[in-house]
Amino acid sequence: MSQTIQAFLGIILQAFPFLITGVLLSSLIGMFVSRRFIERYFPKNIAGGIVFALIGGFCLPVCDCVSIPVFRSLVKKGIPLTSAIVFMCASPVINPVVILSTYYAFGGNMRIVAARVSLGIVCAVLTGLSFLIKRPHNPLKNEKGETFHAASSPAESCTHSTCSCCAHNTESDTKTHHAGAFDTFVHFLEHSRREFFEVGSYLIIGAALSAAFQTLGGKLPLIAGNTGKALSLFIMMSFAFLLSLCSSSDAVIGRTFMPRFSIGSVMGFLVFGPMMDIKNMLMLSSGFTKSFTFRLVISSFTICYLVMLGAMFSGLEALL
């Protein structure tokens, strides 16, 4: 029990700062990026949207905990679902913080760093493209009191009649009719607070499950490295999903599996883990429908598994 509590607190303390960052970024997008702006400047073709998403994923040094709130905000604002999924899956794998942590964890082996980034991009792009087949009609849950809509300005986004934040209740409508900088700031904080508690509750549940598995998993016998490639890769990707490690530090943990598993299997751990795990799945379920969340989990796992297995049989391990 003591070990489980320590693991739980470790996950929470590590994830909460990143979650707060993601919530703040999500609120900024919701308030200051209008649908009109997106329709005007976002690339119209699929290839351009994917490139834009990859550039954004690299430039924003975000953990996987950050990418979920930002992903939801992008979808709400009308970003094409394919591009938003590519951003969510790629950003925790290809950003500079993860690249540096991987570099130091594996003793400066640039081949491993390059393999992780390149395979992460391939898996993220294919996962996004898979949603062009039978596109979901509306992956978002119907949320009562939703604050942000297709507004052309912060002031416009603050006038919806169903907004339930403190700056727009019936007692203060006369005072906030002409929304100024202070009202906009209060509105921003209120939306951030609501989203933090909404997503944070799912993060806590995911962290508890992950902590329990980490404690019990350390007592389970691991299968030796001579296991078949297909099975060993499946085991490592399952570990990545269950352990729910932060993408900024998972390379250190992945390195410890090297004596028992091949480098190809460990690479599957490093590529899939940041894209999807227990806590990410639960945070997704807070804002998206069950069918969409289930499809995204299955699609990302299947695509990563097939890509990594193909790379392993193509001689990836010999290059690393």
Q: What pLDDT score was predicted for residue 14?
A: 67
- pLDDT at residue 302, rounded to an integer: 97
Label residue 303 by pLDDT band (50, 70, 90). Answer: very high
pLDDT digits (tens, 9 = 90+) for 53-69: 999 888 875 667 778 88
Q: What mean pLDDT, rounded, does the chain reach?
A: 77
Query: If you search the block for the tokens 């002409």, which residue do you land on?
Result: 178
Partners of 140 in beta bridges? 288
User: Which residues make Cβ contacts (< 8 Å) with residue 27, sequence separation at least 6?
Assistant: 73, 188, 191, 192, 195
**Sign of the C-alpha dihedral computed for residues 200, 202, 208 and 209 taken in this order:** negative
In this prediction, residue 222 carries a pLDDT of 53
pLDDT digits (tens, 9 = 90+) for 73-92: 888 888 899 999 999 999 88
Query: Roughly what angle, to the nearest 10 degrees, separates helices 181-217 and 229-243?
Result: 130
Which of 199, 213, 212 has the alpha carbon at shortest distance from 285? 199
Q: Is the pLDDT of residue 220 over 70?
A: no
pLDDT of residue 54: 92
Q: Are 73 and 30 in contact (CB under 8 A)?
A: yes
DSSP state of 260: T
Give the DSSP letter string of 176-211.
SSS--HHHHHHHHHHHHHHHHHHHHHHHHHHHHHHH
Residue 166 clears pLDDT 70, i.e. is over it:
no
Higher pLDDT, residue 26 or 116: 116
For residue 192, which of 33, 60, 22 has the smallest C-alpha distance? 22
Q: Categorize the per-residue pLDDT at 39 as very low, low, confident or very high, splitting at 50, 70 and 90.
A: low
Please indicate, yes or no, whether the overall pTM of this predicted structure exceeds 0.75.
no
Interatomic CA distance for residues 72 and 137, integer angstroms: 15
